[in-house]
Amino acid sequence: MSSKINGQVSPQPCPHLVDFRSRNGSKPFRALQDCIRVKPPGGRAAIRREPSEVPRCSTCEESSRPRLYACVACAAVSCHAPPLHSHASAHALSIPGHEIAVDVDRAEIFCCACRDQVYDRDFDAAVVLAQTITATATTSTSGSTAMQCNVTGSQPENLRKRRRVDYRPWAPDSREHVIIGNHSIPLHDATNASLISSTELPWGLRGLNNLGNTCFMNSVLQALLHTPPLRDYFLSDRHNRYYCQQKNGAINGTKNSRLCLACDMDAMFSAVFSGDRTPYSPAKFLYSWWQHAANLASYEQQDAHEFFISMLDGIHEKVEKDKRKSQSPGSGDCCIAHRIFSGILRSDVMCLACGFTSTTYDPCVDFSLDFEPNQGGSGKSSSAKSHNSCSVEVDCMGSNQNCGISTLKSCLERFTRAERLGSDQKFFCQKCQVRQESLKQMSIRKLPLVSCFHVKRFEHSSIRKMSRKVDRYLQFPFSLDMAPYLSSSILRSRFGNRIFPFDGDDQDASNELSSEFELFAVVTHTGRLDAGHYVTYLRLSNQWYKCDDAWITRVNESIVRAAQGYMMFYVQKMLYYKASEKQDAS
């Protein structure tokens, strides 16, 4: 009778096999394991002492017999060709204990005394293992990531049916526990000295050394290091720097091909989230960025916003070389930078003569706010070219304010307000076929995962040939609802809450669900245009931390509210964990 394993009927071993196993200890087929050769195309396993061995019967010297068996005990190869002759059986009969042999071309166990195939689980396990290793080796070179090993999908059909090995769950024993303990770093290590004695600093807070007027870079990097979707992307190894470098090194060995800002970011994330609290020097990243933005490569103070845009561009450019261009701009399919920061703006221009409206969509990676000079508004300058910032005007005398304080909300309102393009800015109407006065209105068609608001504090006037910094205070909320500025809301208000279809209906509907944003990082600038300093405030676990190059301190939120914001980063509320529970160090 046969026994059942995993619902499969497994034949009982013959007495000779039982004998053999009892005589040869726990790993009777150990020697054979090294001789298992697997041919990748079909995954067929064969037994060869050397890969190029030509097996031949030791008795009759024939190598062209269809069935050749190698004795498991003494490695003698014999042919088996009943009813003519069977040198394998002769061998088995002549020497007791040598009944078990293995088919050299099929890697199947045969009992020469019983003259029948027998089955042994350990041997089958070894064969399957050898075939599995070969299968994963071939699939990983055919394009999929090295991390993935889809074993069951790659095994040919005949293998799946014949070879089955039990799944045995594994738990570490005491020795393995020790090994695991010696080679891992605890996540919450109480012995690491924290900057603040009373409380423990949250995970991932690490100072960045100033490498020579690089606070512009440090401040933006601190914000990006804690941008939730970006942090999750790199910490879950979605861009593996070793694999990327290996892949690029194979394609093109020149220096430029090894430049990858995403790889340097990956290294930085690993360093910053390692638990080490000593300040980190982002020298490699700086060098890579210099190579990418050659015109900004100097030790002079640079603009943080310019650096931010340049960095996103660098990540995007590198990816573009690898993959095909994404189909739709603003969808964020092209790279992680755009996946996170890219949104879509909608611009409607309505001819005041005939009412014909022309609509255009443009992607943008952030929103730039302009401080309006007090003496009256000039025309709105909105240049939403692909992957550029868009301009928004700040109104200090809006209806919602008191004491003439500018707020972020008021400038967003102004941004989405319908603006009349006067007689000096006539727009060409397609219906009228002539330039007409028009009404222009901007709205947000698709919100990015992370909205970056950039306040234009540096005015460069070509007329007066001088630049100055605007120190005006801008109030910004900690929670922001962008729903009123979406295309759906704007259009609805234009037509008075009527039901009508407009394109991208489903997309706007999903945006309404996720139009709430939470502030998580503020980059501030203090000082003058030519001698200033950037500092970032980070919001982690509902506490604010000031990141001033290598120094990180906890601060009260009132300080942040009063700070002179230069770049404010908001993330969609559903991606932001306001008060993450801090586990006690176990």
Partner 1 sequence: MKHSVNRPPTPDGVVDQGKEPTLQEIINIKLIESGEKERLMELLRERLIECGWKDEMKALCRAYIKKKGRNNVTVDDLVHLITPKGRASIPDSIKAELLQRIRSFLVSTAL
Q: Which residues bind partner 1 (CB under 8 A)?
A: 39, 41-42, 52, 54, 58, 63-64, 67, 73-76, 82-83, 91, 95, 97-98, 110, 114-117
237 vs 322: CA distance, rounded Å? 18
Nearer to partner 1, 80 or 339 (CB): 80
Q: How far is the CB of 94 from partner 1 (least distance, A)?
A: 9
Q: Shortest approach of partner 1 to residue 139 CB, angstroms?
A: 19
Query: What are 336's two structure tokens?
Result: 């992680």
**CA-to-CA distance for 359 and 348, rounded, in angstroms?**
5
Residue 117 or 553 having the CB closest to partner 1 = 117
Active-site residue, 188 included: no
Shortest distance, CB of residue 5 to partner 1, whole angstroms? 17
- Answer yes or no: are the C-beta atoms of 440 and 349 closer than 8 Å: yes
The tokens describing 168, both together, are 């045995």
* Closest among 301, 314, 114, 322 to 213, alpha carbons compared: 301
DSSP assignment of 437-490 equals -EEEEEEEEE--SEEEEEEE-EEEETTTTEEEE----EE--SEEE-GGGBHHHH
Chain Cα centroid distance, residue 437? 47
Report the nearest approach of partner 1 to the CB of residue 95 (Å). Answer: 6
Torsions phi, psi for 353 (to 5 deg): -85, -50
Do 127 and 93 form a contact (C-beta atoms < 8 A)?
Answer: no
β-strand partners of 449? none
Nearer to partner 1, 63 or 430 (CB): 63
Give the per-residue SS3 of 449-462.
CEEEEEEECEEEEC
73 vs 221 by CB, closer to partner 1: 73
Instruction: Compute the least distance from the CB of residue 32 to partner 1, in Å.
Output: 13
Catalytic residue (one of 57, 215, 260, 364): 215
Q: What is the DSSP string of 44-59?
A: EEEE-SSTT-----TT
d(CA 396, CA 474): 9
244 is catalytic: no
At closest approach, how far in Å is the CB of 258 from partner 1?
38
DSSP 8-state code for residue 392: E
Q: Which is nearer to partner 1, 73 or 390 (CB)?
A: 73
Instruction: Between 62 and 176, name the residue whose CB sits nearer to partner 1.
Output: 62
Distance CA 416, CA 442 (A): 5
Under 8 Å between Cβ of 467 and 460: yes
> What is the residue-wise DSSP string for 355-375?
--EEEEEEEEEEEEEEEPPTT
Nearer to partner 1 by Cβ, of 97 and 532: the residue is 97
User: In Å, what is the CA distance from 573 to each residue of 345, 360, 479?
Assistant: 21, 28, 9
Residue 88 or residue 535: which is nearer to partner 1 going by CB?
Answer: 88
Cβ 69 to partner 1, closest distance in Å?
A: 11
Classify strands 434-436 and 438-446 as parallel, antiparallel or unpaired: unpaired
The two tokens of residue 223 are: 């914000």
| Nearest residue (CB) to partner 1, 51 versus 143 | 51
CB of 116 to partner 1, least distance (A): 4
Strand order in the sheet with 77-81: 85-86, 77-81, 68-71, 100-103, 109-111, 116-117
CB of 121 to partner 1, least distance (A): 19
Look up residue 113 and give its two tokens: 């005394």
Whether 134 contacts 43, CB under 8 Å: yes
DSSP sequence for 490-501: HHHHHTTS----
Q: In Å, how far are 199, 211, 426 from 207, measured between CA atoms?
A: 17, 12, 52
Q: How far apart are CA 132 and CA 500, in angstroms?
A: 58
We find the least distance from the C-beta atom of residue 129 to partner 1, in angstroms, to be 22
Among residues 382, 305, 381, 374, which one has the least CA distance to residue 565?
305
Q: Which is nearer to partner 1, 54 or 499 (CB)?
A: 54
Burial call 198-224: b when 16+ CB within 10 Å, e when fewer: eebbeebbbbbebbeebbbbbbbbbbb
Chain length of the chain: 586
The residues annotated as belonging to the active site are 215, 533
